[in-house]
Amino acid sequence: MTVRFELLHADRDTGARRGRLHTPHGVVETPVFMPVGTAGSVKAVGPDELRELGAQIILGNTYHLMLRPGEGLVRELGGLHRFICWDRAMLTDSGGFQVFSLSEKRNITEEGATFQSHLDGSRHLLTPERSVEIQEALGADVIMAFDECPPSLAERAYLEASLARTTRWLQRCARAWSRGASSLFGIVQGGLHEDLRRRHAEEVCSVDLPGYALGGYSVGESPEAMHQSVAFSAPLLPREKPRYLMGVGTPKDLVTCVAAGVDMFDCVLPTRCARNGLLFTSQGRVTIKNAAHARDPGPLDPACACYTCRTFSRAYLRHLFVAKEILAMRLNTIHNLAFFLGLMRRAREAIERDEYRSFASSLGPALGGEVG
C-alpha cells in the first residue's frame, strides 16, 4: 500500500492542519516531528526509548546507509525496520543533501552526482534511479525523490538551472518507483524567490505522488526569511496531501511553520544539541555545563515528565556532562526528544480546539530564550 493522508481539521485562525498519515507500519498523527536516525540509529537512544517517548516515525539516510552497511545487507536481513528493530513508520532521505554538501568531493551532471565517500575516499555515482532503488531496498514507508539542494542564497541563474534539473530527476524517480510499499514524495526547491517556488511547485505537483516536501531551507538564510518563504510556499502544495518541511528546525521554526500549514518535520537539532549539552526547556535553553547548575537539586524542567526530568537533578546532569560520561548523552537526548515530540503533541491538541494561535503565543521563552 502507498501512504494515505487524512486531513482531519484545519485551524480556524491560522493555516495549521491536524492530519493522519496511514503507512504500512502504522498511523502517524500530524503535525509530527521525526527524530533523525541517519545511519539506522537515533544517536544515544534505543527503539524502546523512542516508542516510550511517543516517536511515531523516524528518518534514515540513503547516502550513509548505502556506504555502510550497504542496502544489500539490510535487504538480506529483512529490511531496515527489522534490521534496527523499529516497528513504526520510517522515512528515508534520498541522499541528495549529503552529496551536495560534499562540495569539492562531488561532481554534478545530468546523469546524477559522482562523489567521493567521506569514509574511505571511494568513488560512487548516485542517480535518481539508484536513489530510489536503494530506498526501496531499505524498505522505508516514505522515500524521497533525488534532488539538488542548492544554498538558499545561491544566485538566481544557478537556482533556475538547478530547479530544471531537479524536475527532470523527479520524473526519472517517478518512472523508477515501483509503487510498492514505499511511497515517493517530490521535493520543491527555489530558494527565497517566490516566483521560483511557485513555478517549481507547479512542476513537482504535476507529478501525481502520495506527498510533497519543501527543501532548500535552513541552509544559510535567516530564520525570518525562511519563515516568510515557507508561509508562501506551503499553501502551494496540494491540500489533500501531506506537506513535509525538510531539515527544520528549532522549536520556534516548528511552531511558526505548523501555522503555515506544514505537517511533517525532521531535524538533527534536538539530538545534536543534547550531545553538546544544550537542552530545551519550557523556560528556554539550558547549557548544562554552566557552573550555575553545579549545586542545583531541582529537575532540568519541572514542566517535563520525561525520565530524565522525573529522575535526575540538574547538578547530576551537569556532573555527567563535565565528566564526559556516556550516560549524559543518553539522558540529554531523552529530554530533548521529549521536548520536541511533546511540543508537536500539544500543537495537535491546540489545532483540534481551534486554539493554535493562543497556544503558540503562550509558549514564550520555550521558543528560544537562554536561561543559563
Task: Please report the DSSP string for 76-126 in residue order.
Answer: HTT-HHHHHT--SEEEEE-SHHHHHHTGGGEEE-SS-EEEE-TTT--EEEE
Report pLDDT for 150.
Answer: 85
* pLDDT digit string, tens, across residues 209-218: 999 999 999 9
Residues 111 and 50 in one domain: yes
* pLDDT digit string, tens, across residues 277-331: 999 999 999 999 999 999 999 999 999 999 999 999 999 999 999 999 999 999 9
With cut-offs at 50, 70 and 90, classify the pLDDT of residue 105.
confident
* pLDDT digit string, tens, across residues 277-292: 999 999 999 999 999 9
Residues 308 and 257 in one domain: no
Residues 312 and 363 in one domain: yes
Res. 367: pLDDT tops 90: yes
* pLDDT digit string, tens, across residues 32-91: 999 999 999 999 999 999 999 999 999 999 999 999 999 999 999 999 999 999 999 999
* pLDDT digit string, tens, across residues 241-268: 999 999 999 999 999 999 999 999 999 9
Q: Which of 245, 267, 289 is the last residue of a domain?
A: 267
Residues 96 and 226 in one domain: yes
* pLDDT digit string, tens, across residues 130-161: 999 999 999 999 999 999 988 888 899 999 99
Residue 40 lies in domain: 4-267
* pLDDT digit string, tens, across residues 163-176: 999 999 999 999 99
Residue 33 Cα to chain centre, angstroms: 7
- Domains contained in the chain, number: 2
What is the maximal distance between C-alpha atoms in the chain? 61
* pLDDT digit string, tens, across residues 345-364: 999 999 999 999 999 999 99
Residues 11 and 128 in one domain: yes
Residues 257 and 327 in one domain: no
Q: Which residues belong to the active site?
A: 93, 266
Residue 143 Cα to chain centre, angstroms: 13
Q: Which of 267, 282, 309 is the last residue of a domain?
A: 267
DSSP H or E run through 6: strand 4-10
98 CB burial (10 A radius; 0-12, 13-18, 19+)? buried
Q: What percent of the chain has pLDDT over 90?
A: 91
pTM for this entry: 0.97
Report pLDDT for 102.
Answer: 77
Report pLDDT for 1.
Answer: 67
Report pLDDT for 134.
Answer: 98
Q: How far apart are CA 284 and CA 249, in angstroms?
A: 16
Please check whether residue 317 lies inside any domain of the structure: yes
Report pLDDT for 236.
Answer: 98
Closest CA to 268 of 368, 360, 336, 363: 336
Q: What percent of the chain has pLDDT over 70?
A: 100
Please check whether residue 372 lies inside any domain of the structure: no
CA angle in degrees (0–180, nearest 5) for 73-330-270: 85
156 CB burial (10 A radius; 0-12, 13-18, 19+)? exposed
With cut-offs at 50, 70 and 90, classify the pLDDT of residue 371.
confident
Prior bond of 69 cis (ω within 30°):
yes
Contacts of 197 (CB under 8 A, 6+ apart): 188, 190, 191, 229, 232, 233, 236
With cut-offs at 50, 70 and 90, classify the pLDDT of residue 101.
confident
**Mean model confidence pLDDT for the chain:** 96
With cut-offs at 50, 70 and 90, classify the pLDDT of residue 182.
very high
Residues 295 and 233 in one domain: no
Q: Which of 237, 267, 297 is the last residue of a domain?
A: 267
Residues 231 and 305 in one domain: no
CATH number at residue 240: 3.20.20.105
Nine-digit cell string for 175: 518512472
Contacts of 154 (CB under 8 A, 6+ apart): 162, 191
120 CB burial (10 A radius; 0-12, 13-18, 19+)? exposed
Residues 215 and 313 in one domain: no
Residues 99 and 201 in one domain: yes
